[in-house]
Chain A
Amino acid sequence: MNGPSDPVEGADPLDFDLLWVYLQQEPLLWLTATLAAYAIGHALHRAAGGSPLVNSVAVAIALLVAILVVSGTTYATYFDGAQFVHFLLGPATVLLAVPLYRNFNRVRRLLVPMLAALLAGSVTAVVSAVAVAGVLGGSRETLLSLAPKSATTPIAMGIAEEIGGLASLTATLVIITGIIGAMIVTPLLNALRVTDWAARGFAVGVASHGIGAARAFQVNQLAGTFAGIAMALNALLTALLVPLLLRWV
Chain B
Amino acid sequence: MVHAILALLVCQLLGEIIVRATGIPIPGPVLGMLLMLGALAALREVPDELNAVAGVLLSHLSLLFVPAGVGVMLHAARIKTEWLPLLAGLFVSTALTIAVTGLVFFWMMRKMGLCEAEQKP
Contacts and interface: CB of A to CB of B under 8 A. Distances in A.
B30 to A, nearest CB: 5
A128 interface: yes
A113 B35 CA distance: 25
Contact of A188 (B29, B82, B98): B98
B109 A91 contact: no
Given A85-B63, A188-B98, A203-B101, A98 B51 contact: yes
Given A91-B9, A169-B75, A174-B68, A133 B86 contact: yes
A198 B114 CA distance: 11
B54 A124 contact: no
B94 A184 contact: yes
From B62, B75, B82, name the one whose CB has the most chain A CB atoms within 10 angstroms. B62
Nearest to B34: A97
A69 B46 CA distance: 45
Given A110-B114, A121-B101, A203-B101, A197 B119 contact: yes
A54 interface: no
A202 B102 contact: yes
Contacts of A177: 90, 93-94
A217 B58 contact: yes
**Mostly helix, strand, loop or mixed at chain A's interface?**
helix
Contact of B101 (A117, A128, A136): A117
Nearest to B101: A121
Chain A interface size, under 10 / 10 to 19 / 20 to 34 / 35 or more? 35 or more
Given A34-B67, A207-B98, A208-B94, A155 B27 contact: yes
Contacts of A93: 12, 27, 29-30, 32-33
Contacts of A249: none
A117 B72 contact: no
Interface of A: 34-35, 37-38, 56-57, 60-61, 64-65, 68-69, 75, 78-79, 82-83, 85-86, 88-102, 104, 109-110, 112-114, 116-118, 120-121, 124-125, 128-130, 132-134, 136-139, 142, 146, 149-150, 152-155, 158, 168-169, 171-182, 184-186, 188-190, 192, 194-200, 202-204, 206-208, 210-211, 213-215, 217-220, 224, 230, 232, 235-236, 239-240
Given A146-B89, A169-B75, 17 more contacts: A79-B67, A91-B8, A92-B57, A95-B58, A97-B11, A97-B37, A113-B109, A121-B97, A136-B88, A142-B82, A150-B97, A168-B75, A195-B118, A208-B94, A208-B98, A213-B61, A235-B30
